[in-house]
Amino acid sequence: MSGLADNFDAILLDLDGTVYLGHRPIPFVADTLKTVLASGSRPMYVTNNASRPPAVVAAQLREMGLTLTQDDVLTSPQAATALLVQRHPPGSVVLVVGAPYLADEVAAAGLVPVREANADVVAVVQGHSPDTGWAMLAEACVAIRAGADWVAANVDTTLPTDRGLLPGNGAMVAALMAATDCHPRVAGKPARAMIDEAILRSASVAPLVVGDRLDTDIEAAVSAGVAGLLVFTGVSSPADLLTASPARRPTFVSFDMRGLVDSHAVVEVLGGGAGWQVDEHDDTLILRAVASAGADSSDRAQDNAALHALAALAQVAWNTRVSAVTAGDERASVALARLGIGADQFTGSAAP
Ligand SMILES: [Mg+2]
């Protein structure tokens, strides 16, 4: 089966919402990535998570049936360390705010991790740790105010847990921004540094970023100038796609990871739309099936038709203000239901 992955030599995969949800693997991922590997493209797992080393992430993914080594995993501390090394020679002293693993990465790069501010500190690197408290932030504040370079592993404001959303690294970074009037350089998505580092490590000339979030994965892809595939197995929905700002628009959309290996399961947003017509009336998009379209009622055909409908809608929505989408006929109703787009989806929202 030929598919999208054949056109790319590295597939840079997000984890949560793309490969797994919490501790559950997402359907079709293992089989799809087997096919990707067999076709000669290299999957790389690119995660903002700053507290787990690549070997731990790789072991978890192998338990889900994936084939990989720790070299196929890139974490935000690795990308943050790459940013540090660009500016600071080996032996430079770096104040570490974060998990022990972050300090390990700093040391592995030939830098000297410390936990207290002193006159030798040239940089501060900050990643999530549940043990970070005021005293640690105070050390970082002293160093940053004294002019140290400041790198954040990521700026995710919240951390999803089984108790709900808790303060993420971005919240702790925000505290230091308030106290220093400085801004960190950021490694993790949506910054491009993670993608740049993944491309470097995989020696890729044709990378594809795959993820479930417009505001992290896809924005990072756009920022790095590479193609992005949005999958609807996590946070962002088809309705979100229609109101995405230019900095967050994916090249391709697919319901799930099968879009990498099945050409019917993926659509190029700006090249798709076959079989559909979209009219605009008073901020409302009206979707209609073109009469000559096939009547194949298989799930695979329905999914393909729905993705083309989404592409047709996006092509119009990305150039206008949208407050509602409605179906102009029965086939359009089926497609919109498959996409989870309701008639009142955009009422009251501020589209671009
Ligand atoms: Mg995700």
Q: DSSP per residue over 222-252, as a string? A: HHHT-EEEEESSSS--HHHHHT--GGG--SE
pLDDT tens-digit series, residues 52-103: 999 999 999 999 999 999 999 999 999 999 999 999 999 999 999 999 999 9
Set 6, 9, 14, 212: catalytic member? 14
Place of tokens 């925000």: 174
Q: Is residue 93 domain-resident? A: yes
pLDDT tens-digit series, residues 100-130: 999 999 999 999 999 999 999 999 999 999 9
Residue 107 φ/ψ, nearest 5 degrees: -65, -40
CB of 152 within 8 A of CB of 80? Answer: yes
pLDDT of 350: 44
pLDDT of 120: 98
- Whether the pLDDT of residue 268 is over 50: the answer is yes
Query: Does 282 qualify as catalytic in the annotation?
Result: no
* CA 146 – ligand 1 centroid, Å: 36
CATH number at residue 321: 3.30.300.290
Task: From residue 156, give the alpha-carbon distance in Å to each of 6, 104, 167.
Answer: 32, 21, 9
| 3-state SS, residue 5 | helix
* CA 11 – ligand 1 centroid, Å: 15
* CA 84 – ligand 1 centroid, Å: 25
Same domain, 81 and 43: no
Q: Is residue 60 domain-resident? A: no
Same domain, 129 and 167: yes
Q: Is residue 58 domain-resident? A: no
Q: Is residue 245 domain-resident? A: yes
Count of structural domains within the chain: 3
* CA 26 – ligand 1 centroid, Å: 12
pTM: 0.93
Q: Which domain holds residue 40?
A: 4-48+191-264
Same domain, 86 and 44: no
CB of 4 within 8 A of CB of 252? Answer: yes
pLDDT of 292: 61
Mean pLDDT of the chain: 94
Same domain, 41 and 85: no
Same domain, 90 and 176: yes
Kindly give the residue spans of alpha helices, DSSP state H, lying in the chain. Answer: 29-38, 54-63, 76-87, 100-108, 134-145, 169-180, 193-202, 219-224, 238-242, 299-317, 330-339
Same domain, 173 and 210: no
Which residue among 186, 215, 237 closes a domain?
186
* CA 212 – ligand 1 centroid, Å: 5
* CA 234 – ligand 1 centroid, Å: 6
* CA 48 – ligand 1 centroid, Å: 9
CATH number at residue 16: 3.40.50.1000
Q: How far apart are CA 130 and CA 253, in angstroms?
A: 35
165 beta partners:
160
Q: Is residue 68 domain-resident? A: no
Which residue among 186, 206, 237 closes a domain?
186
Residue 149 banded pLDDT, cuts 50, 70, 90: very high
Same domain, 90 and 179: yes
Which residue among 158, 186, 214 closes a domain?
186
Same domain, 148 and 208: no
Q: Is residue 61 domain-resident? A: no
Query: Does 279 qualify as catalytic in the annotation?
Result: no
Q: Is residue 348 domain-resident? A: no
- Looking at the chain, the whole-number percentage of residues with pLDDT higher than 70 is 95
Q: How many CB atoms lie within 10 A of CB 275?
A: 18
Least Cα distance to 234 among 17, 2, 50 occurs for 17
pLDDT tens-digit series, residues 214-257: 999 999 999 999 999 999 999 999 999 999 999 999 999 999 99
Q: Is residue 100 domain-resident? A: yes
Same domain, 94 and 178: yes
- Whether the pLDDT of residue 1 is over 70: the answer is no
pLDDT tens-digit series, residues 276-308: 999 999 889 999 999 665 667 899 999 999 999
Set 6, 9, 16, 299: catalytic member? 16
